[in-house]
């Protein structure tokens, strides 16, 4: 079964998810989405949130580049996306968390019109301590 990556042009998290799929050599199709239609389309496809990247692989629906990376390592263990060493892995996860929770929200207001940010539900990042809606680790 071919995976489907739901992405937005110029979205660096979407590009990161595509690169992860390519590294894992997983066949996928890209469904390009544009604001303000991203949220409604993803909801119609059964995703719980309105943000990209979103990935359908086998019977799973996963959203967010961090969640996608964990799910892809579970799905296809080699080649690994995360270091084997636990200390290095924590460092990578901390850098990803910073990118999601600090860098990404800071960049959005200067790039996208505020009504698009609000419509897409992009204003508030998910807290790092909250479990992922897909059951993976944050």
pLDDT digits (tens, 9 = 90+) for 104-116: 777 665 555 566 5
In a domain, 84, yes or no: yes
Tokens 């390519």, located at residue? 22
What is the tens place of the pLDDT at every residue in 9-21?
988 899 999 999 9
CATH of the domain at 17: 3.40.30.10
| Residue 63 resides in a domain | yes
Decide if 38 contacts 31 (C-beta within 8 A). no
Rounded to whole angstroms, how far apart are CA atoms 104 and 131? 20
pLDDT of residue 118: 63
What range defines the domain where residue 32 resides?
A: 3-118
Q: Compute φ and ψ for 73, nearest 5 degrees.
A: -65, -30
Q: Say if 105 falls within a structural domain.
A: yes
Q: Distance from CA of residue 121 to its chain's centroid?
A: 14
- 49 located within any domain: yes
Q: Which of 53, 50, 75 is nearest to 63 (CA)?
A: 53
Is residue 125 included in any domain, yes or no? no
User: 35-48, pLDDT tens digit by residue?
Assistant: 889 999 999 999 99
Residue 136 domain flag: no
Of residues 62, 64, 47, the one with CA closest to residue 12: 64
Q: How many domains does the chain have?
A: 1
Q: What is the per-residue burial (b if ≥16 Cβ within 10 Å, else e) of 85-107?
A: eeeeeeeebeebeebbeeebeee
Mean pLDDT by 10 residues, the chain (138 residues): 91 93 97 93 95 95 95 96 95 90 72 59 46 43
Q: What is the pTM of this model?
A: 0.75
Q: Which residues pair with 29 in a beta bridge?
A: 4
Specify the pLDDT at position 129: 40
81's CB contacts (< 8 A; 6+ apart) are: 20, 23, 24, 69, 72, 73
């Amino acid at each position: 079964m071919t995976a489907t990556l739901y992405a937005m042009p110029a979205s660096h998290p979407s590009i990161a998810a595509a690169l992860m799929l390519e590294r894992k050599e997983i066949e996928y199709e890209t469904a390009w989405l544009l604001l303000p239609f991203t949220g409604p389309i993803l909801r119609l496809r059964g995703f719980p949130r309105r943000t990209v990247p979103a990935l359908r692989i086998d019977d799973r629906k996963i959203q967010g580049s961090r969640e996608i990376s964990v799910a892809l390592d579970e799905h296809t263990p080699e080649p690994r996306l995360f270091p084997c060493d636990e200390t290095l892995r924590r460092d990578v996860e901390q850098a990803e968390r910073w990118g999601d929770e600090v860098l990404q929200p800071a960049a959005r207001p200067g790039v996208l019109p505020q009504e698009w940010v609000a419509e897409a539900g992009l204003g508030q990042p998910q807290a790092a301590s909250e479990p992922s809606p897909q059951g993976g680790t944050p």
